[in-house]
Amino acid sequence: MAWPYVADDTSDPLLAADAEVWQPFTDAVRELVDACVQSDVDADDVRAAQADVEAALARLGKARLSTTLGQSGTVGSRRRAWGNPVIGVRNPIAPPLHVDSDPAGRAWSDFHLGPAYEGPPGLVHGGVVSLIIDQVLGHAVGAGRQPAMTGTLTIRYERGTPLGDLRVEAWVERREGVKIHAGAHVLGPDGPTAVAEAVFIVPRRFRDQLSDGIGAADQGSTQG
């Protein structure tokens, strides 16, 4: 199977200009989602707001991409992740996270989760915790420029993760051929709330393209 992205020739300045248009719009839709789960207005206001949203939908629906955003972007550019549900600049489902990483295989992010991510009362939905951990693990593994996918992800929920300000950290522990073992945790105000172990796999279809790095000596723990 070929590389899953359809590269285009959009320049970085054009992408940046595009992001400046879409970022504020996405932020506004995200606020709309928050209003949807928290507003306490009466039925007339809800119906009027619905008509406004339907008008916006009609305007946006005038043109549509023929592929998903993830497929249509240029490899190596920010656009590839614009639809991503954790970091995507065009996805209001994304909190969004800004993830930092280093070449040693560490990744981390300080982020905020509001009521749209609630599971148990006042706490983050466990699936959302998993979503965020998976993404940031992907950055830790991807920092070594390995095209790897999550093979197995095990999460131990130590205690409820409170809505609000949180931090996630992930690290590559070791490599065994095409398998990359990594760890992660989510930190709340009282310490770790969820601790994860993962095995990422360099998919069969990418192995031939990767002669460097794969099967290299163990990297050792890089937990910060």
Ligand X SMILES: CCCCC/C=C\C/C=C\C/C=C\C/C=C\CCCC(=O)SCCNC(=O)CCNC(=O)[C@H](O)C(C)(C)COP(=O)(O)OP(=O)(O)OC[C@H]1O[C@@H](n2cnc3c(N)ncnc32)[C@H](O)[C@@H]1OP(=O)(O)O
Catalog residues that contact ligand X under the rule CB under 6 A. 134-135, 138-139, 142, 147, 149-152, 178-179, 199, 201, 203-204
Least distance in angstroms from the C-beta of 194 to ligand X: 16
Task: Report which residue type is found at 116.
Answer: A
142 or 160: CB nearest ligand X: 142
Helix (H) or strand (E) holding 52: helix 43-60
Least distance in angstroms from the C-beta of 163 to ligand X: 23
Least distance in angstroms from the C-beta of 85 to ligand X: 10
**Cα(180)–Cα(36) distance, integer angstroms:** 40
Task: Report which residue type is found at 39.
Answer: S
Q: Cβ neighbours of residue 163 under 8 Å, at least 6 residues apart?
A: 113, 114, 115, 117, 118, 122, 123, 124
Look up residue 146 and give its two tokens: 């390995």
Pairing verdict, β 164-176 and 191-201: unpaired
Look up residue 150 and give its two tokens: 């999550």
Least distance in angstroms from the C-beta of 41 to ligand X: 37
106 or 139: CB nearest ligand X: 139
Least distance in angstroms from the C-beta of 95 to ligand X: 14
86 or 163: CB nearest ligand X: 86
Contact at 8 Å (CB) between 111 and 52? no
107 or 163: CB nearest ligand X: 107
60 or 149: CB nearest ligand X: 149
Look up residue 66 and give its two tokens: 């023929």
**Cα(111)–Cα(194) distance, integer angstroms:** 15
